[in-house]
Homo-oligomer: A and B are copies of this chain.
Amino acid sequence: MVSKNQIKLITSLQQKKYRFTNKLFFAEGVKVIQELLQSNFELEHLYTTQNDFEEVLSAKKTVIDDNDLKKISALSSPNSCLAVFKVPVEKKMIESGLILALDSIRDPGNLGTILRLCDWFGIHQLVCSKETVDIYNPKVVQATMGSIARVNVSYTDLNAFISKTKLPVFGTFMDGVNIYKTSLSQEGIIIMGNEANGISAEIEKLVQNRLTIPRFGEIQKTESLNVATATAIILSEFRRNS
């Protein structure tokens, strides 16, 4: 059984302000929940329709039916389990090596996919502008496939952060140098811009290294790559010769 108050609390966590005031977020599905449990995420409570998760103390686990799961899930086709976790205290930023910085990424799926790419390419620090979608948004948590447990994510004033860094700053533009023909350092901040508007004018001023992913189509009409696929290509280029 899930009480009315629990349903109210969990569904409220779909909104950022309630995640913030309650310092809680939730994840759905066995794989993501297991990854979070194995990492340093503190479980508040697990709801499952199966007799699984033997490692979780019974005081922190409630077996519920499909009907109850539907009431708390954010998915149109709910999985078999949902777990509420405490939002961890933001860790100190890692200011060395390669850092990815996001200037107003708005789509939860894009942020989740980018976090998964950071994990794959060994990027330990993701820095998000305050306008970027919240990492504990349920759709982001879902799209990260567990990578949320392995990459340090910080929200900050991006302008202030980049203004004071001593690391080289990279950004992608239509008029940059060919990324395939530039030697890329293994230290620096790589900035990816908003889905519709790219990197903002204010941040663009702070970019010393303007890069371009060349187009190969003969009819050069494709206006841009999706930000997650562009991030994939850029991280691959930075790492391929490391």
Contacts and interface: CB of A to CB of B under 8 A. Distances in A.
A215 B113 CA distance: 15
A205 interface: no
Interface in A109-128: 109, 113, 116-117, 119-122
Contacts of A217: 119-122, 150
A234 to B, nearest CB: 9
B232 A150 contact: no
Nearest to A118: B217
Interface-centre pick from A121, A216, A225 (highest chain B CB count, 10 A): A216
A125 to B, nearest CB: 13
A219 B150 contact: yes
A104 interface: no
Nearest to A221: B150
A213 B229 contact: no
A193 interface: no
Interface string A208-230: 00000111111101110110111
Contacts of A119: 217, 221-222
A177 interface: no
Given A117-B225, A122-B218, 11 more contacts: A109-B109, A113-B229, A121-B216, A122-B216, A180-B241, A213-B236, A216-B239, A216-B242, A229-B231, A232-B232, A233-B233
30 contacts: A35-B221, A109-B109, A113-B226, A116-B225, A116-B226, A116-B229, A117-B225, A117-B229, A119-B217, A119-B222, A120-B215, A120-B222, A121-B215, A121-B216, A122-B215, A122-B218, A146-B221, A147-B222, A150-B217, A150-B221, A180-B240, A180-B241, A216-B242, A228-B229, A229-B229, A230-B232, A232-B232, A232-B233, A233-B236, A236-B237
Q: Report, nearest first, the 6 A-B pairs whose CB atoms are least far apart.
A: A122-B216, A229-B232, A232-B232, A180-B240, A119-B222, A233-B236
